[in-house]
Amino acid sequence: MFDGLKALNAKISKMYSEFLAYEDFEKMADGDNVRFCLSYLKEKKFPNIDSFSDIYEIEVFLEEYRRSEIAKLRGFLPLRYADFLKAYLERINIEKIVKILRSLRMNKEPKVDKLVILGKKINFKEETFESFIDNLKDTHYYEYLKNYKSSKDEDALFSIEMNLEKFYYRNLTETTKSFSKEDVEEFKKIFGVKIDLLNIIWIYRAKKYYNISPEEIFNFTIFGGNYNSEKLLKLSYLDEREFEEEIRNSKYGALFAQGRVIVTGRTAKKIMYSIVRKNFRRTDGIDKFMSFLVLLDYEIANIERILEGTRFGLNKKEKLKYMIVDREGSEEIGR
The mean pLDDT of 108-119, rounded to a whole number, is: 89
Residues 170 and 93 reside in one and the same domain = yes
Max avg pLDDT among 76-85, 92-101, 154-163, 254-263: 92-101
Residues 84 and 160 reside in one and the same domain = yes
The mean pLDDT of 255-260, rounded to a whole number, is: 79
**pLDDT tier at 8, thresholds 50, 70, 90:** very high
How many angstroms separate the CA atoms of 311 and 318, rounded? Answer: 12
8 Å CB contact between 308 and 55? yes
Number of domains making up the chain: 3
How many angstroms separate the CA atoms of 188 and 309, rounded? Answer: 34
pLDDT tens, residue by residue, 152-167: 877 899 999 999 999 9
Entry pTM: 0.91
Residues 218 and 258 reside in one and the same domain = yes
Residues 192 and 219 reside in one and the same domain = yes
Residues 213 and 104 reside in one and the same domain = no
How many angstroms separate the CA atoms of 244 and 17, rounded? Answer: 38
Single-letter amino acid code for the residue at 283: T
Which of 154, 178, 202 corresponds to the end of one domain? 178
